[in-house]
Amino acid sequence: MRIGLITEGVCPYVNGDTRLWCDRLVRGLGQHQFDIYALAGGERPEGRGGSPLPPQVGRVRTAPLRTAGDGGARYGRRARRRFAECYGELAAVLCAAGTGDPSSAADAEVSAVEADRFASALYGLAELARDNGGPAGALCFETAVRALERACRAPGAPRPAREARVPDLLAAATHLEHALRPLSLDWYGDDALGSVDLCHATSGGAAALPGLLARHFSGVPLLVTEYGVQLRAHYLAATEASPAVRALLTAFRRRLATEIYRRAAVVTPGNAQARHWQQRCGAHRDKIRTVHPGMRAAHFTEVGESPERADPGTLVWVGRVEPAKDLMSLLHAFAEVRRREPRTRLRVVGTPSGPEGAAYLGHCRALAAQLFPDEAANRHAVGDNPVSFEEIGGPELRSSADAYAAGAVVVLSSVVEGFPAGLVEAMFCGRATVSTDVGAVVEVIGGTGLVVPPRNPRALAEACVTLLRDPERRQRLGAAARARALELFTVEQNTRAFHSIYLEIISHTPARRVLLDDTGEPLPFALPAEAHLPGSWAGAPPRVVARGGPRWALDDAPGEHPAPMSAAEGAVR
């Protein structure tokens, strides 16, 4: 199967965590062929980052998105008129008041109409860009600004848009031009995205737009994976622009997200929060498959299988030090724990992130020094503080696994959290955990650890004491956590899940295409029927499959699947 993997960021994969994930996905699914299409950011495409590309990567195409200039074509009169029509329609949809809740029926109808208008305008622009090249030049820009002005002044426009001034219109037009730049890429021909069996967009927003267009032009099914919802990230990031610009741009991004979720064959959020956002933006429940991010479990195997290494009186906190982690609350909770279990120690393992984190770490050290005086074993020994602040990489803690191994209970005290990677690592290590109920914590921990409300040191302390006093329960919870993490959060699980989603999509929406010979004539029977089936079909005798098949498949909806029905019946008889 040929998968078109569309990424956003530096060539060939995006940065950071998603890059790691893409790399693992491509390497893990060697049976498929991957074509990588990267929308490059502002930086110049860098080298391949040391590791050579695996053989299953067919080609890598990078499109610079941020180079300004007159790269596009000048439109003729007719193309300009079409551009004005489509852009005007787009602007009108952006200014239409349609932020309603999709769950109510009347709003749903209105928003469906609006979504259709948006889609037709978007595809109109895309067809124009495919036929005539991307819009360029002052004329198109002026047309765009005028269309935006007209839409903002139209009755029914939202309040911030109505108050748009000329600089706002210019800024919005510039941003929109940038957001629409994927339309003018040359990726949609039969030699590029048109020839793959499945487009896999590794994030929403800009990266999913090429997939959307490939679906529109060539009928290629689209799979969208979002570990963090792009729309949400845009809301959090775009706070400097004026209200009018933000109103227009967020309307565009919301509509685009809705269109992507509507057209995608399958949407895979990384956690429940992302799922809620996607559902809110119009993703249908049936399309959503939550695929948790996978993490490498190998480093933690040794620690996870030796629970006796844990120091029974030690609490461990591991993470990056920043105010959102609420270490203050942890220290107060630890004071309460010490009151009940005087011999307990707390190890805070982590490096501060940025200057803010460093300052916060300083405050925490000061608080710890105030709350807990240094202690010594007897009159002649040198004492130390029951709270120690350490960093990974020292002689004592060579890796994060050592840090988790040192504690009997791993504590997470954040007030804000996305996907808690540290918690998953603790689960891999088979440690009992106490965490605050934030972000995806509850979803990750399942029932295998204690959860307390955030900003509640007393509850945190109580939970810690409960676990400290009950080693047997600690071990039980730790073992269950490790089992759960190995089941759900490994790289293999992640890769497997995507493999099965690929197969599922292909089996539901096979891309039908006609192969052409050298003279441009269609080649009959160039693609045999087996080509549409996943895997090697020739080896498996159909009788065996039919016998092994479940009985309910025979009774289920006989009218809908006539062909398999008859085959199965024949096999049973």
* Interacting residues with other proteins between 372 and 401 (CB under 8 A): none
- Rounded to the nearest 10 degrees, the angle between the axes of helix 208-218 and helix 243-263 is 50
Which range of residues in 22-30, 121-129, 474-482, 556-564 is near other proteins by CB under 8 A?
A: 474-482
* Residues 82-121 contacting other proteins, CB under 8 A: 99, 101
Asked if 190 touches other proteins (CB under 8 A), the answer is no
Size of the site for other proteins (CB under 8 A): 79
SS3 content of the chain, % helix, strand, coil (to 5): 50, 15, 35
Q: How far is the CB of 142 from other proteins (least distance, A)?
A: 5
Distances (CA, A) of 83 to 136, 137, 169, 216: 11, 13, 18, 19
Binding range to other proteins, per CB under 8 A, among 13-21, 435-443, 503-511, 561-569: 435-443
φ/ψ of residue 546, rounded to 5: -70, -40
Pick one of 462, 502, 506, 568: the residue that binds other proteins (CB under 8 A). 462
Site for other proteins in 480-499 (CB under 8 A): 480, 483-484, 487-488
Q: Minimum Å distance from CB 334 to other proteins? A: 16
The arrangement of strands across the sheet holding 198-201 comes to: 57-64, 33-40, 2-8, 198-201, 222-226, 266-269
* Cβ nearer to other proteins, comparing 8 with 168: 168
Return the structure tokens found at 501: 């989603």
Q: Is 284 in the site for other proteins (CB under 8 A)?
A: no
Which residue in 20, 57, 136, 241 binds other proteins (CB under 8 A)?
241
Query: Is residue 437 within 8 Å of residue 452, measured between CB atoms?
Result: yes
Asked if 335 touches other proteins (CB under 8 A), the answer is no
- CA-CA distance, 464 to 410, in Å (whole number)? 9
- Among residues 523, 568, 525, which one has the least CA distance to residue 547? 568
Q: Structure tokens of 68?
A: 């300004």
Kindly tell me which of 149 and 390 has the beta carbon lying closer to other proteins: 149
CB of 508 to other proteins, least distance (A): 20
Nearer to other proteins, 117 or 496 (CB): 496
Task: Calculate the alpha carbon distances from 237 to 166, 232, 272, 514 in Å.
Answer: 23, 9, 21, 44
415 binds other proteins (CB under 8 A): yes
Task: Confirm or reject binding of residue 546 to other proteins (CB under 8 A).
Answer: no
Q: Which residues pair with 387 in a beta bridge?
A: 346
Selected binder of other proteins within 61, 215, 280, 287 (CB under 8 A): 280
Of 248-256, 262-270, 350-358, 372-380, the segment contacting other proteins by CB under 8 A is 248-256
Map the footprint of other proteins across residues 36-75, applying CB under 8 A.
42, 66, 68-69
Minimal distance in Å, beta carbon 311 to other proteins?
23
Q: How far apart (Å, rounded) are the C-alpha atoms in residues 511 and 174?
A: 36
242 near other proteins, rule: CB under 8 A: yes
Closest CA to 286 of 270, 265, 259, 271: 265
**149 lies in the site for other proteins, by CB under 8 A:** yes
Scanning 30-38, 116-124, 141-149, 383-391 for contacts with other proteins by CB under 8 A, the matching segment is 141-149
Q: Which of residues 257-276 bind other proteins (CB under 8 A)?
A: 272-273, 276
**Residues paired with residue 61 on neighbouring β-strands, in sequence order:** 37
Q: How many C-beta atoms lie closer than 10 Å to residue 534's C-beta?
A: 16
What is the contact mask toward other proteins in residues 200 to 239, using x (rule: CB under 8 A)? Answer: -------------------------------xx--xx--x
- Site for other proteins (CB under 8 A): which residue of 93, 193, 251, 491? 251
Please identify which residue in 44, 159, 296, 543 interacts with other proteins, judged by CB under 8 A: 159
Is 146 near other proteins (CB under 8 A)?
A: yes
Return d(Cα 127, Cα 346) in angstroms, integer.
62
Q: Which of 186-191's residues contact partners 24+ apart within 8 Å by CB, and which partners?
A: 187/37, 187/61, 187/63, 187/214, 188/130, 188/213, 188/214, 188/217, 188/218, 190/218, 190/513
Ranges assigned E (strand) in 236-395: 266-269, 311-318, 345-349, 387-390
Separation of alpha carbons 75 and 130, rounded Å: 12
Select from 438, 468, 501, 506 the one that contacts other proteins (CB under 8 A): 438
Query: Tokens at residue 466, please?
Result: 């409960």
Q: Please, which residue, 195 or 290, has the CB nearer to other proteins? A: 290
Closest CB to other proteins among 12 and 158?
158
Report residue 176 CA to chain centroid gap.
23
d(CA 133, CA 443): 47
Residue number, 3 or 281, with CB nearest to other proteins: 281
**Between 70 and 555, whose beta carbon lies closer to other proteins?**
70
Asked if 504 is part of the footprint of other proteins (rule: CB under 8 A), the reply reads no
User: Binding to other proteins by residue 565, rule CB under 8 A?
Assistant: no
In the bound state with other proteins, the residue whose beta carbon lies nearer, of 195 and 242, is: 242
Residue 123 touching other proteins (CB under 8 A): no
275, 430 Cβ separation under 8 angstroms? no
If binding is defined by CB under 8 A, does position 450 make contact with other proteins?
yes
The CB-of-265 to other proteins minimum distance in angstroms stands at 20
According to CB under 8 A, which one of 138, 382, 529, 557 is a site residue for other proteins?
Answer: 138
Element housing 409 (H / E): strand 407-412
Q: Which residues contact 468 (CB under 8 A, 6 or more apart)?
A: 312, 313, 315, 337, 341, 344, 408, 409, 474
The residue among 169 and 408 lying less far from other proteins, judged by its C-beta, is: 169
336 near other proteins (CB under 8 A): no
**Minimum distance from residue 88 beta carbon to other proteins (Å):** 14
